[in-house]
Amino acid sequence: MDKVIPRGEDAVEPMVLILGIGLYGLTANLCYTLGWVYELRSQSSPSARERHKAKRLFRDGLLASCVLTSAPLWFGFLYYLTHPRLNQ
């Protein structure tokens, strides 16, 4: 980490880390709750269009949660690729 952050500096501010974890947990739970609420609402409609839409939303939600959860990995990888001084 000496190549990225000077000695003595914090890599992450502790309060930002705590707030970020809380925000992530709140967002994940909100999305999960909205998912099953929408699913219950769409089950009352027998239309094939609504069932197809529910399946698509499930797939998209799963993809979004995977991307959100792995975002720090991808940001770190992108940072590594765009800062050549780290590659030395």
The pTM assigned to this predicted structure is 0.55
Torsion sign over Cα 19, 21, 26, 27? positive
Tell me the per-residue pLDDT of 21-43, one tens digit each, with 9 for 90 and over: 888 888 878 877 877 777 777 77
- Does residue 6 belong to any structural domain of this protein? no
- Does residue 8 belong to any structural domain of this protein? no
- Does residue 77 belong to any structural domain of this protein? yes
- Does residue 1 belong to any structural domain of this protein? no
pLDDT at 71: 87
Domain span holding position 50: 14-87
pLDDT at 76: 86
With tokens 């501010």, the residue in question is 13
- Does residue 2 belong to any structural domain of this protein? no
Tell me the per-residue pLDDT of 1-11, one tens digit each, with 9 for 90 and over: 566 667 777 77
Residue 29 buriedness (CB in 10 A; 0-12 / 13-18 / 19+): exposed
- Does residue 74 belong to any structural domain of this protein? yes
Report the alpha-carbon distance of residue 19 to residue 23 in Å, rounded. Answer: 6
CB 5 within 8 A of CB 11: yes
Of 46 and 28, the structure prediction assigns the larger pLDDT to: 28
- Does residue 7 belong to any structural domain of this protein? no
The count of domains in the chain is: 1
